[in-house]
Amino acid sequence: MPEELENPEIPVPEELQGTVTVTTLDKIYNWGRRSSVWPMMFGLACCAIEMICTATSRYDFSRFGMEVMRPSPRQTDLMIVSGTVTKKMVPQIVRLYNQMPEPKYVMAMGACASGGGPFKEGYNVVSGIDKYVPVDVYVPGCPPTPQALLHGLMTVQKKIDGESLRTARWYRPEVSEALPIPVLGPDIFDPRDLEAIKNRRPAPAAESSEVVG
């Protein structure tokens, strides 16, 4: 067994140290998950090229058990939002996130996915994907290097290591609800705000003041 699974608080007789390992259920469960994180196979812009480079033999993120990039969201653990997120693409990203099984994680790769990047406050680009889906790890850069993405993947693993079966949200008795899919019209809006938008009335025009000479 790997050394990181051993629990040093419980002594093991010297003659059994090569054959017996004492650990906790949380450690062995998290070790299995951190060593087989399957990212979703999709890209949005130039950051996706760096993500592809990370999978090549020079960087080889299969060393971390992440080489199985799945085209189906129902078989993935990690969504890497790599590139510029346009308003037209946001509904599809939220729909893919809802189709991913728990436990699932989201990584915002690059300046565009994290906060809009050079297109911040543009007419067709959202200022960060975290406004629509919960982001666990941010990878800065425009675009980030493969080394930066590897560091982000290792940060996801550290987050998994710190989780517990007793507090994990996917083992709570309440049912987790799907995120509302944004609606794209003249602009993108949250469907939960639809009633407030319908009831909104235009402000009355200011009365013109007459100037008497």
CA dist list (Å): 148 to 110, 137, 171, 177:
10, 12, 32, 33
**Structural domains present in the chain:** 23-189 (3.40.50.12280)
The stretch 21-29 carries a mean pLDDT of: 73
pLDDT digits over 53-84, tens only? 988 888 888 888 887 888 899 999 999 999 99
Locus of tokens 């930066």: 148
Backbone angle region of 65, left / alpha / beta, with phi > 0 → left and psi within -120 to 50 → alpha: left
> Is residue 83 a contact partner of residue 110, using CB atoms and an 8 Å limit?
yes
Q: Specify the pTM.
A: 0.79
